[in-house]
Structure 1
Amino acid sequence: MSKVPHEAITVGVAGALLGGVTGRIVGFPVLGTAIGALSGAVSGARRMYDWKSTRGIGAFVLDHTWALATTTASVVAIGVNSATGARIDEPLTTRQNRMTYEKGLVLRRGFAVTFGYVVNGAADRDGTLGERRRKLVTHHEDQHVWQARMFGPIYPVVYAGWFAIGSIVATVRWLVAGRKTKLIDDVDATAYYRNPFEWHAYSCDDNWPPHGVDATKVWAQPFRGSSRTPSTPR
C-alpha cells in the first residue's frame, strides 16, 4: 500500500475516534464520528498535517475536538470544491496544517475565504498564484485557520455576529449622514475590516490599513502584538 492511502486510513480512524468522542459530549456521536472520519481521511490523503511538530499534532487534535464545528465547514467546502473540480495548491497544503485551493468556494471575487482549515480562492482574479497571493495565504488566511482552531465554536458566532451588527450600524450611520458615501464601502469598513479577526489577520500580513481602504474608516493602528512572520513554515 502506498504512503498516501496509508496515512489517509490512519488519520481517518484517528479523526473518527476524536470526532466521535466530541460528538458524544455535545449529543451528536454519529455525526461527530462521520465528520471526523471524512476530515481525517481527506487531510491524511493530502498529507496536510505536519506530524513532526507539536504544532501539527495540536492542529489535528483541535480540528477534531474543540474546533469540530469549523471542521464541519471544512468538510463541506472540500465537498463543494471536489464537485466543481477546484485544484489544490500542493506547496501551500502539504505538511502546512491547512488545505489551500487555488479557486474553490468563495463569497466575493478576488477575496480568499477560509472555512476551518480550508483556504479557498488563493489565486488572483486572473488565476495566477504569485508571491503576493502566497503571502496572503501564509500570513493572512493562516491566521484565520488558527483563529478557528483556538476559538472553536465561538469563532463563527463572533465573526458572523460582528458582521451582522456592523452592517446595521454602518447602514444607520450612512442614512444619518445623508447617504453621501457608498453604502458598500461603509459596511465593508465597519462590518469587515474593523472585525477583530480581520484586523489581526491584515496586520499579520503587514497590510494595515488595507490597500485601497479609507484609513479614516478603520482602526488607526495595526493590531497590537500581531506577528510579522507566518505562523507556519512557508
Structure 2
Amino acid sequence: MVFGIISAAVHVGLGALLGGLAGGPLGLLIGAAVGLLLGVPFGWAVASAGTYGTDARGIFLFVVDHTWSLLNTVVGALYLALHLIFGHQLDRVVSQASGRVNLVEGVSPRYATTIGTVCAGSSPGIQRHEDVHVFQARLLGPLYLPLVMLNYVLFTIAPVWLLWHDHGNAPINRFTRYFEIGVYPHVWNEAIAYRIQGTPPR
C-alpha cells in the first residue's frame, strides 16, 4: 500500500513540476491533474499486486523506477492506464514481488509488450525475454526509450539489418514482414532480449 501511495504522489509531483515550469500556476494544476490520472491507476496496480517486495531488493527497484528510470515508469503508467480503459486485467499472481506490473491481455494475441515496468500479454515461456526489457529500462533510465525509438527510425529508413538478416528462414516477401520480421527483431533492445531468451519471429 505504501509503495502505491508514494508512486502516485511521485507522478502527481512530477506532473505539477513540469506543468508549473511550462505554464505557471495554471500549468501546475493541469500537470498535477495529468499526474493524478496516470499515478492513481499505477499506484493502485503496484499496491494491489504487491509489485515491489518489502525486502532490500524490492525497495531498491522501487527507488530506481521512481528516480533514474522515472521516464520509463511514467510512460509505462500511461500504457497501463490505456489497458485498464479497455478492460484488461491485472495479473496479481505473476506481478507479486516481481518488480513489474503484469497484465493478462496484451496489445495483440501474437506479442507481449513491455514498457517501463508494465508487461502486457506475457506468458511463462517468454517472461524472461520481457524482463530483459525491464532491466534495460532500469539500466539506461531516461536514455532507454529515446534510444529504442531512434533505432526503430534508423532501421526503418536505412535497413542495414538486411546485411545480417536470415533471408532463408525468414524471408522479407511482403510489406508487413518488413517490420514484423525485419525491423522489429533487429533493433538493439529486441536483439539482446531474443539472444537471452526466445527465437525471433519468422
- With the length of structure 2 as denominator, give the TM-score of the two structures: 0.74
Alignment partner, residue 71 of structure 1? 73
What is the deviation of 1:12?
Answer: 3.6
Equivalent position SS for 1:135: coil
Alpha-carbon deviations, 1:160-208, whole Å to 9, x = none?
111111111239x7xxxxxx83343343444211112111111221x2x
Contact conserved, 1:113 with 1:119, CA < 8 A, in 2?
yes
- Structure 1 segments unaligned to the other structure (5+ residues): 1-6, 123-132, 174-179, 214-234
Contact conserved, 2:3 with 2:52, CA < 8 A, in 1?
no
Alignment partner, residue 187 of structure 2? 195
Taking a change above 3 Å as real, the CA distance of residues 212 and 11 of structure 1, as seen in their structure-2 partners, is closer
Matches within 5 A, 1:1-234: 7=1, 10-15=2-7, 18=10, 24=17, 27=21, 31=32, 34=36, 39-54=42-57, 56-104=58-106, 106=107, 108-122=108-122, 133-137=123-127, 139-170=128-159, 181-205=173-197, 207=198, 210=199, 212-213=201-202
Q: How many residues get paired? A: 184
Contact conserved, 1:19 with 1:65, CA < 8 A, in 2?
no
Contact conserved, 1:12 with 1:38, CA < 8 A, in 2?
no
**Aligned counterparts of 1:42 and 1:189: Cα–Cα separation in 2:** 33
Equivalent position SS for 2:97: coil
Task: Determine which structure has the larger helix proportion and give its number.
Answer: 2
% same residue? 23
Letter in 2 for 1:198: E
What is the deviation of 1:112?
Answer: 0.5
- With the length of structure 1 as denominator, give the TM-score of the two structures: 0.65
What is the deviation of 1:47?
Answer: 0.8
Letter in 2 for 1:200: I
What is the deviation of 1:36?
Answer: 5.3
What is the deviation of 1:95?
Answer: 1.0
- Structure 2 segments unaligned to the other structure (5+ residues): 23-27, 163-171
RMSD over equivalenced CA pairs, Å:
3.2
**Aligned counterparts of 1:45 and 1:212: Cα–Cα separation in 2:** 34
**Aligned counterparts of 2:81 and 2:101: Cα–Cα separation in 1:** 13
